[in-house]
Each structure stands twice: as structure tokens, then as C-alpha cells.
Amino acid sequence: MNLAITEDGKSVTVTDKSNNFTSWTILSGVLDRSLNWSEKMPFPDEVGFRRPPLTAALSPDSSLIAIVYRDRPICLYDLDEDMPHGLVSREGDPNAQGLGSMTSPSSLVFNTRKDSHTLTAAYEDGDLCLFDYEDLLLLKTIKEANAHIVACSPDGSTLATGNSNGMVQLLEFDTLQLLYRMNAAEYGIRDLCFSTDNLRFMDVQGT
């Protein structure tokens, strides 16, 4: 579901659909840490069963993870404290959001800047939302932004989005102001990534 190398380059982390976060030291292969967040992050209307998560994103400093479940608000879990951090949603009070709300993000990404506390989520219907994950606030929503996949540039300034029609957009991360739009191909965009110099990006296409 999510595979990442920590900021210091010493560990690799994995988040899986069984609600586990695991990290290993790269050089030795030794298990650093393993935790399961599901029992500490219950939903009031759950009755003995939880659907597996759809996707997840790890903060640049590996201290926070954002988890997406079907028809649920975005769940934020503090890995340092091993406890829930809170919920964010594009619709009102996330604590009042029950099953069937149809608010599932298809992709989400943390801003890579250390001084930023923002998270962007692309929803299944194409909406794009910017959140302050520290204060658990919705900062901005762009309706029908035609975004299903998101990626952040290494310097945190640019957000790239892609969709199932092959359209790629570049936006200013902090404001979601559109900078450039292109129709890259007939195939849908499956993933995006930036070069380390922030000047180029690549997309993965497929049906």
C-alpha cells in the first residue's frame, strides 16, 4: 500500500492493508519497529468488522501516517506517540461522518517541506482538497479538479495531479492555483513522481 525510505536514508518503511506499519534498517535488514493502528483508531459505528484501507501516505519525517478507508474521513495516526492524531474530511465534522458518505480519496500526499503542515487529497470524483493536518482543518477545495493521483515536488512548491483520461496538471501546492495543464496520453495516469531538481516529472500510464 505504501513503501518509503526515511528522510535520513537509513530505513525502509511499509504500510500494508492489514493496518500494519513496519520499518527495517536498510544496511542490516534488522526490524526496527512494527505496530498495528487499527485497535487504537475505532469508528463509533463499527460492529466487529473493518474494511481494509485503500491507500496511505507517510509524512516526510516519518512521524505521521494518513490512512484512507472506504467512505470514511482521512485518518491521521501519530507514529512517534503510537496513538491517533485526528481526522480530516472535505465534508463538515469528520466525527459525524458515517458509512455511505462517499468521500474516499484515491490518492494523497504530504507536503515535503519541513515547515509545512499541509496534506493534499484527490478524491474518486475528481475533487482536490488541501488540509492543515496539524490543526485538522480543511483549507481549500477545488470541485471537479479532474485529479485522481497526486505527487509533491521535493521542494514542496509544486503539486502534480493525473487522472484516468491521461490529463496531467501542475499546481502551486500551498494554494492549489493551477500553473499548467496538459493532455499527456490516451491512457490513464497511474502514478507520478518528480526529479530531485524539481524541474522534471514522470508519469506511469495504463488502462
The single-letter code of the amino acid at 75 is: C
Element (H, E) at 152: strand 149-152
- 119: pLDDT strictly greater than 60: yes
- 193: pLDDT strictly greater than 70: yes
Lowest mean pLDDT among 1-10, 89-98, 139-148: 89-98
Lowest mean pLDDT among 58-67, 183-192, 193-202: 183-192
Pairing, β 64-68 against β 55-58: antiparallel
* Structural domain count of the chain: 1
Q: Look up the domain containing 101 and give its range.
A: 2-206
Mean pLDDT of 148-169: 94
Cα gap 138→13, rounded to integer Å:
28
Q: How confident is the model at residue 35 (pLDDT cuts 50, 70, 90)?
A: very high
Please enumerate in sequence order all residues whose Cβ is within 8 A of that of 122, keeping only pairs 6 or more positions apart, or say none. 105, 106, 107, 108, 128, 145, 147, 148, 149, 150, 161
**CA count, 13 A, side-chain hemisphere, 138:** 16
CATH number of domain containing 8: 2.130.10.10
Q: How confident is the model at residue 185 (pLDDT cuts 50, 70, 90)?
A: low
Tell me what pLDDT residue 53 has: 93
- 41: pLDDT strictly greater than 90: no
Helix (H, G, I), strand (E, B) or coil at 147: coil
**What is the tens place of the pLDDT at every residue in 58-113?**
999 999 999 999 888 999 999 999 999 999 998 866 665 555 555 689 999 999 99
Query: Which single residue is written with the C-alpha cell 482538497?
Result: 129
Tell me what pLDDT residue 102 has: 59
| Residue 202, C-alpha cell as written in the block | 514522470
Tell me what pLDDT residue 95 has: 65
Query: Which single residue is written with the C-alpha cell 526515511?
Result: 6
Show the CA angle centred on residue 52, arms to residues 150 and 165, nearest 5°: 30
Scored b (16 or more CB within 10 A) or e, 123-149 reads beebbbbbbebeebebbebbeebbbbb
> Any bridge partners for residue 13, and if so which?
4, 23
Q: How confident is the model at residue 49 (pLDDT cuts 50, 70, 90)?
A: low
Mean pLDDT of 24-32: 95
